[in-house]
Amino acid sequence: MPKADFEAQVLREMKIVLKENTEKIVKYTEKELLDWSEFEKFYMTMENFDYPHKDKLLEFIKYFFLDHIVSEKKIIMNFLAFKEHMLSTRPPDSAEKSRNGSNLRSRRKS
């Protein structure tokens, strides 16, 4: 599986797994950036979250929403981007975005 497809799948699954906690995530803080250790503590308090790979999902969240590294022990995540991801809806199909409304790239005849 190509890396981009794998990442898209993980992001979709992340929303499904954490769906029951979306409201709690959105209300947690108004901060755009959040210390990773603070997020880890918050993550461990999430309810309705029965998932066999909680630790792996936490690592994926770190990978996708890492903002910057201050030091070896201090990592900052983009919590706003994480919240926006959790609130986002699925984008329309690419055919719907197309100007000509078909799956063809162009209506020009060869």
105 in any annotated domain: no
Beginning with the edge strand found earlier in the chain, give each strand of the sheet holding 33-35 in spatial order: 33-35, 74-78, 66-71
Residue 55 lies in a domain: yes
Question: How many structural domains is the chain composed of?
Answer: 1
Classify residue 79: in a domain, yes or no: yes
The answer as to whether 99 is a domain residue is no
Does the reported pTM lie above 0.85? no
List average pLDDT for each run of 10 residues in the chain, which is 110 residues long: 85 87 93 96 80 83 94 94 88 46 46
**106 found inside a domain:** no
Domain that holds residue 31: 3-89
82 within domain boundaries: yes
